[in-house]
């Protein structure tokens, strides 16, 4: 599989999460399963992708939990970082 194909598979799971059809766990699992197959991708891009996936999973809270903890909702930012890394990888 090409880097573009692998990135597209992960992106499909991300889009499913955005549509409310899958979980943050599914996104993070997809990243963990597929990212070792990337070829000739700089480590910094893989690290950025892994970090954003972990952040998405760690910060996957209900509105009540978020309010009780006083944490801001950074889901959109985490998704943006994942997509940014995937598009950069697909371009390699």
**Which residues, in sequence order, are CB contacts of 49 under 8 Å at separation 6+?**
31, 35, 82, 85, 86, 89
Predicted TM-score (pTM) of this structure: 0.91
Confidence at residue 1, expressed as pLDDT on a 0 to 100 scale:
86
SS3 of residue 55 by DSSP: helix
Confidence at residue 76, expressed as pLDDT on a 0 to 100 scale:
95
Residue in the block written with tokens 């499913």: 16
Confidence at residue 56, expressed as pLDDT on a 0 to 100 scale:
96
Half-sphere exposure in the Cβ direction for 89 (13 Å, CA): 34
Confidence at residue 35, expressed as pLDDT on a 0 to 100 scale:
94
Tens-digit pLDDT string for the chain (92 aa): 899 999 999 999 999 999 999 999 999 999 999 999 999 999 999 999 999 999 999 999 998 999 999 999 999 999 999 999 999 999 98
Confidence at residue 25, expressed as pLDDT on a 0 to 100 scale:
97
d(CA 7, CA 34): 8
Confidence at residue 79, expressed as pLDDT on a 0 to 100 scale:
97
Provide the 8-state DSSP code for 70: T
| Domain spans of the chain, in order of start | 3-90
């Amino acid at each position: 599989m090409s880097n573009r194909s692998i990135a597209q598979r992960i992106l499909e799971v991300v889009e499913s999460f955005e549509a409310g059809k899958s979980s943050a766990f599914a996104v993070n699992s997809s990243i963990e399963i597929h990212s070792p197959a990337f070829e000739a991708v700089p480590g910094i891009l893989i690290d950025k992708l892994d970090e954003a996936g972990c952040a998405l999973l760690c910060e996957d809270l209900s509105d009540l939990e978020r309010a009780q903890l006083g944490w801001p909702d950074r889901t959109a930012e985490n998704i943006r970082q994942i997509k940014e890394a995937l598009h950069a990888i697909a371009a390699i």
